[in-house]
Amino acid sequence: MTNFAFFLPVMFSTFALLFLAISRLGPAAAPFWAAGFGCAALGFWAPAIDQLLPSPAWSLLADALFACAFLAYSEALLVRWCARWLLHVRLFITVGAVLGCAVAILLQLPLLELAVSDAASFVLIALPLVAALPHLRNRLDQALALAALLVAFDGLSRLATLLVTRGSGAFLDSVYFFLMQAFASVFGLFLGLAALAGCMSELIARYRREAELDPLTQSLNRRGFDRASVGAHDRKGAVISCDIDRFKAVNDRFGHQSGDQVISAFARVIMAHVPEDARVARFGGEEFVIYLPGADLAKAIGCAETIRQAFAATGAEAARIDHVLTASFGASAILADDGSIYDALNRADRALYDAKNNGRNQVCAASFLRPIAARPVGDGLARGIG
């Protein structure tokens, strides 16, 4: 009944090494998965060592390793769903399980030792499932929860059938030992693959975000904007095109590092004054575009004016330069017959150029009904253009 004697530690060691390698790439749960599978691998080696060097210490070491493995599994699951949840409780269960197993070994009560170990394993892997219930929105989380549930069920079923499966013979020849290794092979493989898929999906999502973000401002780049605004022309909305005034003079006078600080300050002002569902993108240099889902032209003008005033008031201080900073804005509504959001952006760009040509530091809006002369409305308020 020792057909799994070498397969299990090799399999769990392989998963441990895989997660250890993946942890260098950033997934938060990967180090805990590596620790869990590593402890489990060492725990499965213990019976083989015990055959060569019989000692109660090997049994206690295996119990401690399995308890630590399930603690690490629970932490890995909770990093994905509810980090640090009931950590003190789980630590108490782990330490209590090791102490309970030590007492059982000293009293020579093998059934108690197995019962304590199985009960602790069940509780440690089952607790995260309670925290996971509100978070099971995608198939990967559901698969991971199912794998953890099967592992928990395995521990509970062993605990429930302990008196029958353990028997009175040698532990390594018992039905209990065979079932433990058989189900650990199947459910451990499932858990490892589900956890691996979860970590890889996190990596892919992170790389996708990085590919769609401007590294200087953490706003969207053009690729990210295209993806975030798919189908925008089929819905009500508005766009704003904006540009820092006389930005070349900032670079020439203060250097490109200060220029980058100005761009970053402008991006922060924009993102601080747009609605939560807005999409902000840097299209290159000092030029930004804003997509406002569901907004009309009046709301876009108001949003642009708020950003204009905030940047004029705080931009220089935020960028840490002694220089007057202003920006110009063009706004346009998205029309029902637009082929894409770029039709609206082209109109917003023309309005932006009008703002530049009429003195900068102002908001201009594209008019779609009839050509009208540009006219100021207050200090820097919207102007209409044909």
- In the sheet with 237-244, reading across from the earlier edge strand, the strands are 279-284, 287-293, 237-244, 327-333, 363-366, 383-385
Residue 286 annotated to the active site: yes
Q: Which fold has domain 222-385?
A: Alpha-Beta Plaits (3.30.70)
pLDDT in tens, the chain (386 residues): 455 567 888 999 999 999 999 999 989 999 999 999 999 999 888 766 666 555 677 888 889 999 999 999 999 999 988 777 888 999 999 999 999 999 999 998 988 999 999 999 999 999 999 988 888 888 889 999 999 999 999 888 888 888 777 776 777 678 887 888 888 889 999 999 999 999 999 898 888 888 899 999 999 999 999 988 887 776 789 999 999 999 999 999 999 999 999 999 999 999 999 999 999 999 989 999 999 999 999 999 999 999 999 999 998 888 889 889 999 999 999 998 888 999 999 999 999 999 999 999 999 998 653 333 333 333 444 444 33
Q: How far apart are CA 170 and CA 308, in angstroms?
A: 80
Ordered by start, the domain boundaries in the chain are 7-211, 222-385
> What are residue 288's DSSP bridge partners?
242, 282
- Out of 75, 202, 286, 305, pick the active-site residue: 286
- Residue among 192, 166, 161, 176 nearest 40 (CA): 192
How deeply is 11 buried, as exposed, middle or buried, from its count of CB atoms within 10 A (0-12, 13-18, 19+)?
A: buried
Residues 6+ apart with CB under 8 A from 314: 265, 269
How far the first Cα of the chain sits from its last, in Å, is 86
Q: What is residue 386's predicted lDDT score, i.e. its pLDDT?
A: 35
User: In which region does residue 331 sit, left (phi positive, over 0), alpha (psi from -120 to 50) or beta (all else)?
Assistant: beta
Beta bridge partners of 188: none
Going through the chain in order, the beta strands assigned E by DSSP cover 237-244, 279-284, 287-293, 327-333, 363-366, 383-385
Q: Which residue type, as a one-letter code, is found at position 352?
A: L
Q: Per this entry, what is the length of the chain? A: 386
Q: Report DSSP letters for 26-84, one per residue.
A: --TTHHHHHHHHHHHHHHHHHHHHHHHS--HHHHHHHHHHHHHHHHHHHHHHHHHHSTT
pLDDT given for residue 289 in this prediction: 97
> Measuring CA to CA, how many Å separate 348 from each of 14, 246, 291, 344?
56, 19, 11, 6
Are 113 and 59 in contact, with CB atoms under 8 Å apart?
yes
